[in-house]
Structure 1
Amino acid sequence: MASTVNHDTLFIDAAALRSILSYKTLMNHLESTLPTASSAVESPIRHSHQTSPSSSLLLMPSFSVSSSLPYIGVKLVTFHPCNSSIYLPVIHANYTLFSSVTGQTLASIDGSEMTLYRTACISGLASRHLSRQESRILVMVGAGAMAPHLIRAHLSARPSLNKVIIWNRRNEKAVALVEMMEGEFQGVSFESNGCLDEVVRLGDVVSCATNSEVALVMGKELKSGAHLDLVGSFKHSMKECDDEAIRRGRVFIDNEAALIESGELLGAIERGVICRDHIVGNLVELIRGDKVGRKDSSQITIFKSVGSALVDLLCAQLVYETYKNAPPSSI
């Protein structure tokens, strides 16, 4: 499951990571560390390189200037959207953690698995602050590698959810995900549905994780009090909802990069549907209480995430320190 590369460097593979990490633990860790770490960690703008007409290489560095978080980290990510047609993950990644004191390599972590956890937990954490406490139905738009993690994180963040409806362009993938997750959560039912507008109308929480460049969620279909979670887009051409959804929603972002990389927000601003001030705040401001999330039960809230090297570093910290301190028999 895990092996030692040398006397000082740990290799933490996907199986080891799953054995030591839970969605609730990671969400709690991020909620407690993000407010202080946001001012103590430097995260240069990620490098994004087009390696083919449809594929990309991303480099995400981050380093702490605080003695209480003595780490440097770099994530290398490849994005190959055509992989979905051959049943391979679209995203592959590796994360390297260094000591900021000595510069030595501390760990090489399966970045693909870590990214799935950290992305889902950021969405779950936002839902804690933005979705209604009495939310019952979760709609999952997309049935790729990210979907089961988002479902688990949302169910962990909002225990009132008792029904999950999954939609995917290829319905057989939605059916397969339902079969995989049925019975995993006591008291939660799972089903698939091929009519997206119909299921969006039902969703108290609607979570999207697709590579779509055409709007999927129509704003007119969002029910009163819904929370919309947008995960998929990270470049201008991508979008998972239309302008009407953005216009109707009280919008929060994970970090300022969303205003550079999110197709939904950039497009709506460029077309004059919203102005920059329509973005209420970011996740750290929500956690601190600097910004009010949901003002009433009828309001539509939106959370757009594009990922950040800061969250990667905090996730790697938890994984590394937990793994290093765990008894060998528990790994």
Structure 2
Amino acid sequence: MPSSHRPEPSRTLDAAATAALLPWTALADEIAAVLRDASVLVPARSVLPLPLGGTLFVMPATDSRVAMTKLITLTPANAGTPRPTIQGDVVVFDVATGERRLVLDGPTITARRTAAASLLAARHLAQEPQGPLLVVGAGVQGFAHVEAFVQGLGVRDVRVASRSAASAEALAQHARTLGAKARVVADAEAEVRHCPLIVTCTPAHSVVLGTPPLADAFVAAVGAYTPTMAELSPALCRHIAQQGHIVVDTPDARHEAGDLLQAGIDVADLPTLGDVLQGPRIQRTGPVLFKSCGWAGWDLAAARLAVRAHDHAGAAAVTVGTAEPRQWATP
């Protein structure tokens, strides 16, 4: 006899509607909650090279109530074209019923959870959390980190460095709309001496910083997520390891953190963000490098928060449609 049960229709949300469910402070708090949740299971992500130079990422995760998978493609050849470099979705299921609850915009989830993880790390590790902030790279992660640090840390002085003058000015203008003073800088290395907050969020095709940071600096490096990628010079990484502290986002960084691996640093020996939250606080002496490679646990945190916020607001309050995300993000 056929079942009379009709599952609730899942909701497909565009970039703007996805972002609206994920305010910065709440998302950083949710990432911290995921790190403390013993029911969370996150298998290694699958990375499948595609025939024409792209990559397919498959990133599942679950806890006791929510299961999700992020399916995204990275197509570098789309850079400079109307097509986004990163495309895809995060599909969220109810563990108890198996029903699909939400389909979220994948690039938006990726951008926001990466910046929220940096925000969480900065809240615990930055000695001068109000900046000034130097952002190297003016793609999607540059925009996300500026929003997260301005709204989550109270940063009011932003300097932007990018290979693209137009992109740098667009990010600086965005920072101004958020209430921060912002300007484009031509020499990122020179600004390192004046900024206790630094974020590198480039495509990581080449090293963009090699100058030792201030003794009280917090550096979040998010662009490199494979052994062959790097944004920070080996000498800079070794300097921070010797004079301060390095924290990685998860144990997976031991085979993904190209900046550190190329510097000959034993990544397996480094504390993780979870260690920082669950154990004794790292002493705030010397510069701190937070090396982020990306983890499906962050996507699970975003999925959990989005489901709760969507349920609270009601489906009628959410706009459904399509929107074009910006170009670069860390898988």
Q: Point out where structure 1 has 5 or more consecutive residues left out of the alignment.
A: 1-5
Q: CA deviation at 1:120?
A: 0.7
Name the counterpart of 1:205. Answer: 197
Q: Does 1:166 align with 2:157?
A: no
What residue number does 2:251 align with? 256
Which residue of 1 is the match for residue 323 of structure 2? none
Give the C-alpha shift of residue 109 in structure 1. Answer: 1.0
Shift of 1:179: 2.2
Q: 1:157 to 1:133 in 2, by over 3 A?
A: farther
Rounded Cα–Cα distance in structure 2 between residues aligned with 1:184 and 1:128: 20
Report the CA distance between 1:208 and its aligned residue: 0.9
Partner of 2:217: 226
Determine the C-alpha separation between the residues in 1 that align with 2:268 and 2:8. 52
SS in 1 for 2:80: helix
Question: Retained in 1: the 8 A contact 2:89–2:107?
Answer: yes
The alignment's TM-score, normalised by the length of structure 2, stands at 0.87
- Aligned mates of 1:278, 1:45 — CA distance in 2: 19
Is residue 2:15 matched to residue 1:14? yes
Query: What is the distance in 1 between the residues matched to 2:128 and 2:194?
Result: 16
What residue in structure 2 maps to residue 177 of structure 1? 171
Point out the more displaced range, 137-146 or 126-135.
126-135
Could you say which residue in structure 2 is the equivalent of 1:3?
none
Cα deviation for residue 122 of structure 1 reads 0.3
Aligned partner of 2:60 in structure 1 is 61
Identity %: 24
Q: 1:86 to 1:205 in 2, by over 3 A?
A: same
TM-score (norm 1): 0.87
Partner of 2:187: 195
Q: Which amino acid aligns with 1:268?
A: A
* 2:208 equivalent to 1:216: yes
Q: How does 1:13-52 map to 2 (within 5 A)?
A: 13-31=14-32, 33-37=33-37, 39-52=38-51
Paired residue secondary structure (1:166): strand
Alpha-carbon contact 1:124-1:156 (below 8 Å) kept? no
Q: What SS class does the counterpart of residue 193 from structure 2 fall into?
A: helix
2:120 matched to 1:128? no
Distance 2:215 2:82 in 1: 37
State the number of aligned residues: 308
2:251 aligned counterpart, secondary structure: coil
How far off its partner does 1:12 sit?
A: 2.1
1:260 partner amino acid: H
Q: Is the contact between residue 131 and residue 196 of structure 2 (CA under 8 Å) also seen in structure 1? A: yes
* CA deviation map 1:85-143 (0-9, x unaligned): 22543222201111222222121111111111111100111011111146431000000
> 1-side partners of 2:128 and 2:172: how far apart?
24
Letter in 2 for 1:150: H
1:192 & 1:165 partners in 2: Cα distance?
Answer: 6
How many Å apart are 1:164 and its aligned residue?
Answer: 0.3
> Partner residue of 2:277?
287
**8 Å Cα contact 1:81-1:211 kept in structure 2:** no
**Distance change >3 Å, CA 315–CA 169, structure 1 → 2:** same
1:101 and 1:86 map into 2 onto residues whose CA distance is 42
What is the alpha-carbon distance in structure 2 between the residues aligned to residue 165 and residue 130 of structure 1? Answer: 21
Q: Is the CA contact 1:203–1:226 (under 8 Å) kept in the aligned structure 2? A: yes
Asked if the contact 2:115/2:141 (under 8 Å) is kept, the reply is: yes
Q: CA deviation at 1:263?
A: 0.8
Which structure ranks higher in relative contact order (CA pairs < 8 Å, sequence separation ≥ 6)? 2
Deviation at 1:34, TM superposition (A): 2.4
Q: CA deviation at 1:52?
A: 4.0
| Aligned-partner Cα distance in 2 for 1:134–1:275 | 28
Q: 1:179 to 1:146 in 2, by over 3 A?
A: same
**What is the DSSP-based 3-state SS (H/G/I as helix, E as strand, rest coil) of the residue aligned with 1:287?**
helix
One-letter code aligned to 1:79? L
Q: 1 CA distance for matches of 2:311 and 2:129?
A: 39
Counterpart amino acid of residue 213 in structure 2: L
Q: Match of 1:8, as an amino acid?
A: P
Partner amino acid, structure 2, of 1:21: L
How much has 1:248 moved relative to structure 2? 2.1
Are the equivalent residues in 2 in contact too, given 1:129–1:294 (CA < 8 A)? no
